[in-house]
Each structure stands twice: as C-alpha cells, then as structure tokens.
Structure 1
Amino acid sequence: MKPKIIVEGTVGAGKTTFINYISERLCLEPIYELTDSKLIQILENFYIDPSKWGFQLQIYFLTKRFKQMKIGCEKGNVVMDRSIFCDHIFPSVLLKRGEMTKLEYDIYKELHSNLIEFSTPPELMIYLKCSTKTAIDRIKKRGRLWELSIDENYWEILNREYEDFFGQYSLSSLLIINTDSVDERFSNIVQIVEEIFREPEKVIYEYNGNVVNKRSVANA
C-alpha cells in the first residue's frame, strides 16, 4: 500500500493544524513526526550548536522518517506529517550555511538515496506554502525556545529549499496550498482533495483561497 496523503512544508507552515482538520473530515489516521527523548535532546543541542550536532540530528531524523514511512505504507489510509522524500532539504540548508561539512552531507545523501528506494510515494502530496515572514511570525507565536534561538537566515534558506523541491516535484499528484491567504477553516480544501483523487493521472493543483489552478505533472 501507499500512504493516502503526506503533508509537507517549512517549519511554521501550519502542518499540524491542517492535518488535524483533514484527518477528521476524510476519516484518515494522522501519523505525526515520530519522536523520543533522544531526538528532543539532540534537537535542543542542535539549535545551540548546529555545526556540532547537525549531522547527528539529520541521521537520527532520517531513521525516524524511514520508520514513519513503513508505518504509513502498512496502514495506507493515513495522512502523514512530513516524510522521507523531503528530509534531504534540512541537511542541504546546513551545508549551505557551513554548518555541515561536504563529507557529512555526502554520507547523509548516500544513506538517504538508499532508503528512498524502499519508500513509496503517497497518492497525494500536499505542500503548505507560506512566506518566510509568515513562518517566522508563527514560530514566534508558538514560542518554542529552541526555534526562537536560531537566526532568520536559516528559515529563509529552508523556505527556498522547499520552493525549489516542489517546483520540480513529480512523484505523485500534488496540491499546493498558499497558507498566507487560505483562511483557518481551510474552505473548499476537502472538495479539492476529493477532486484530485478522482483524477486518472498525476496532476498539480494550486489553491490560494480563491482560485484553483490545475495542470498535469507532465506539463509542470
């Protein structure tokens, strides 16, 4: 089986709120990011000293993403919070900021590429798009200390990496939702998702809260 929906987006894009919404209305089981005390400890250390802890964090995250992917494929009727398919974005940001060495990045990429071969794309990927300013405002609002400690350049590069990745995405049908302009009730989202599931071929839909644009993946 393959996961029904995977939801991706930069930190602060609104993934948890959206997953709670869509899982209830489409009767899908939500699978949130897998975590444990070890991951939280590494994450907190990372935000204090990214250069020292970045590689360890990304390798441990990758193992969690792969386990999460296996659970999603076994259950099928799920909506997942992040996935292994976008996991490479984070080490790419660290490499560009000089907080991960080229050797560390190459080791990560080799492992990531091998695990991707055993991972199944979802029926639908949903990308929650937002401006860096919106993401930072939401990060500040929820007040997680380790997120607040990192400089705004990190969030800017991270957002650009997501934009670049989904500008070339073709693994499955894709719904891009601009969460800068979509209201918190996610009006019309369920209808759009159900319409995409009826499509016989892979498609890309973009929704800004008012207008839906559609194109085939081949013409993206």
Structure 2
Amino acid sequence: MNSIPFITVEGPIGVGKTSLAKLLSEYFQYELLKEIVEENPFLGKFYENIDEWSFQTEMFFLCNRFKQLNDTRDHYLSKNIPVVADYHILKNLIFAKRSLQDNDLQKYVRIYEVLTEDLPMPNIIIYLHASLDTIMARIKKRDRDIEKNISPLYLEQLASDYDIVMNDFKKNNPHIPVLDFNGDTLDFVQNKQDLVKIIDTIKETLNIGAFKHESTKKI
C-alpha cells in the first residue's frame, strides 16, 4: 500500500466503532475523525417515528460528514498525516436505503453522488459486526437518551444490511482491504489481547514499517 493510511471503522449501531477508533488513534498516533451523532437535532425524533423524520436525519448526517471529510483531506491527508475514522461515508446509503421512502431515496442518492464524487476515501476498512443481543447490550450500557426508543427490529435489519453491503464492497473493491472482526467473540475495550490481535492485523495489512508515522505506544 503506497498512500498515507486512512483507516475507517464501520459496523452497525452499538458495535463499538468509536471505542476502537479511539484506541487505534492513540496506539498508532493517527488523527482521530469522529462522526457527529448526538448533535443531530432530528435523531431522537427519528427513533420515535422513522417515516416522518428519516429524510431530515439522513441529510443532516450527509452534510456534516461531507464537511468533515473535506476538512480531513485539506488539514491532514494532503499533508501526509494518517487518519483513523469511526465511520465510512458509505454508511449514509446503508441507513438511507433502510429508512427512506422511494421518492425521497432517489433525491437523496442524487445528492449523495454529487457530494461524494471527489471526497477522500479510506484505504482500509475495519468491519465490526455482532449479534443483536450483543448490540442491544452495548447500547443499553452506554445509556444514550436518544437511543432509548430504538427498535430491536430496526437494529437487526440494519445489521443484515451491513453484511450485504460489506460483502458487495469486498467483491467490487478488491484493492481495498476489509478486515472483519466479530464483536461477539472480541472485547477490545476490556481484553488487551483482543486489541493486540486487531492491531497486529492492521500492521500486517498496512505494512506499517513503510510509513514515517509508525510511532506507536505500548498498550
């Protein structure tokens, strides 16, 4: 891999994306890009009534992620500063296709294609996935007010959507490594060895010794 590392962590709600992105950012000394979630003024209403608030919710996320990725390119990647993010812009389509009605979805996809045509894209994806029981337990543990009305059925459908999209991504983008990790069997927050396993896989994939930004700290 010849370009500067741009790692993204993806997966369904509650699977641990932000926690892992933070740990990787600290270990590899990479810049951390975190998505805006709780700042979305429509999200709580969305979980209460998906049909009514889906378009506003998805457009807010799309516009904010567009701005974040533009800034990431200008302030970090263009200066050869590696980045690890807790999302991939592709997630916008996953959520939109699950929640938007056909007419709104068509409009949304057109806007998405225009906004993302020249955005920087990650050169490695970490895909976290887990069972519904694990996801529900982690959502309950973090106890966010905006997630208290989230439907288990919605979460289950979303996890299935992620599996389909990520499998398709692997087939259509063989040049971009996708590293799969099962959240049911790995606890990288509480178990040091699980985190080491993930870090070692990333190092091997990125051929880390080839980069200037290889300074790391002990776990």
Aligning the two structures, in what range does the TM-score lie when normalised by the shorter sequence? 0.7 to 0.9
Say if 2:9 and 2:85, in contact at 8 Å, map to a contact too: yes
* Structure 2: runs of 5 or more not aligned: 209-219
The reply on whether 1:86 has 2:86 as its aligned counterpart is no
Identity across matched positions, percent = 30
Which amino acid letter does the alignment assign opposite residue 177 of structure 1?
F
What SS does the aligned partner of 2:85 have?
strand
Among residues 10, 13, 23, which one is paired with 1:11 in the alignment? 13
Which amino acid letter does the alignment assign opposite residue 154 of structure 2?
Y
- 1:103 deviates by 0.4
Among residues 171, 179, 183, which one is paired with 1:179 in the alignment? 183
* Structure 1: runs of 5 or more not aligned: 95-99, 200-220
Say if 2:9 and 2:86, in contact at 8 Å, map to a contact too: yes
- Name the CA distance, whole Å, in 2 between partners of 1:136 and 1:61: 23
Structure (1 or 2) with the greater strand fraction: 1
| TM-score, with length taken from structure 2 | 0.81
- 1:148 deviates by 2.1
- Name the CA distance, whole Å, in 1 between partners of 2:205 and 2:134: 27
Aligned length: 192
- Name the CA distance, whole Å, in 1 between partners of 2:140 and 2:17: 16
What are the equivalent positions in structure 2 for 1:1-220 lying under 5 Å apart?
4-34=6-36, 37=39, 39=40, 41-74=41-74, 75-76=76-77, 77-94=82-99, 100-170=100-170, 171=173, 172-184=176-188, 185=192, 186-198=195-207
- Name the CA distance, whole Å, in 1 between partners of 2:124 and 2:205: 8
Return 111-120 or 9-18, whichever deviates more.
Answer: 111-120
- Name the CA distance, whole Å, in 2 between partners of 1:167 and 1:82: 17
Say if 2:46 and 2:52, in contact at 8 Å, map to a contact too: yes
What SS does the aligned partner of 2:42 have?
helix
1:146-189: CA deviation from partner (whole Å, max 9, x where unpaired): 21212211001100011011111144211111121113231322
- 1:19 deviates by 1.1
- Name the CA distance, whole Å, in 2 between partners of 1:72 and 1:3: 12
The structure with higher relative contact order (CA 8 Å, sep 6+) is 2
Which amino acid letter does the alignment assign opposite residue 69 of structure 2?
M
| TM-score, with length taken from structure 1 | 0.81
- Name the CA distance, whole Å, in 1 between partners of 2:136 and 2:36: 23
Moved >2 Å (runs of 4+):
34-37, 71-74
Say if 1:35 and 1:64, in contact at 8 Å, map to a contact too: no
- Name the CA distance, whole Å, in 2 between partners of 1:147 and 1:22: 26
Say if 1:126 and 1:175, in contact at 8 Å, map to a contact too: yes
